[in-house]
Chain A
């Protein structure tokens, strides 16, 4: 599992790739925490997690996301997930995780729920 950050205006996209299971979920939790620690400053309002390259998540991964969602909310930030793949979507439905983290079909949709400036920056090209 890998997780790479890219910033678009006042939102960070965390691009996750690979399986999120009991062996990799701690890595996701640490990556989320690194971004969330920056939330609260006026220039950073939220975090969008790109799950388009995540084919699998277990309850260990849900735990990491739950911790991240709680930390993000405690700092007054926004958090969202984009582009869930079939098994991940199924696990989210079973677990009612839509009550925990907002999910969107695409990255622009998720960014648009937080910041128009981020949408404009995303459409303009690579992260700066």
Chain B
């Protein structure tokens, strides 16, 4: 069964998004660890839209769908901001020590690392990310 939530792009939506993911994880019988992975992916995607914006056309709405299909977790994450494909973000350099590493830039790398498949599309006025994560213990 698909669970879906549509939220305004404002700071307080983070709490609603987290509660939505935790509720889904509980209903699907996911482990606490897997539930935390799901919340983490959604937090990083939300932050990417909310804090870093979409150029001169910020998103007003975020729409999230979750579905479990066997051992896969399908995540559909959409925003109505300006066109932005995060798959084009560079992979951060992580082989450097504390002096040489920048302070940020890890959010989408975490998402990429925790998903098995990742696809972006621009449909109408929406950025749509489709993620497949393996359900693990």
Contact = CB atoms under 8 A, between A and B. Distances in A.
A and B part of one assembly: yes
A67 interface: yes
B113 A94 contact: yes
Main secondary structure of the interface of B (DSSP, over half): helix
B58 interface: no
Interface residues of B, number: 27
Nearest to B37: A87
Given A58-B107, A59-B104, A91 B94 contact: no
B40 A99 contact: no
Contacts, number: 70
Main secondary structure of the interface of A (DSSP, over half): helix
A83 B43 CA distance: 24
Contacts of B39: 56
A18 interface: no
Contacts of B97: 99-100
B47 A22 contact: yes
Nearest to A57: B40
Interface in A89-116: 90-91, 94-96, 99-101
Interface of B: 14-15, 32-33, 36-37, 39-40, 43-44, 47, 51, 94-99, 101, 103-104, 106-107, 109-110, 113-114
21 contacts: A23-B14, A58-B44, A58-B47, A58-B107, A59-B106, A60-B43, A62-B106, A63-B103, A63-B106, A66-B103, A70-B99, A70-B103, A73-B99, A90-B114, A91-B40, A94-B110, A94-B114, A95-B94, A99-B98, A100-B98, A101-B98
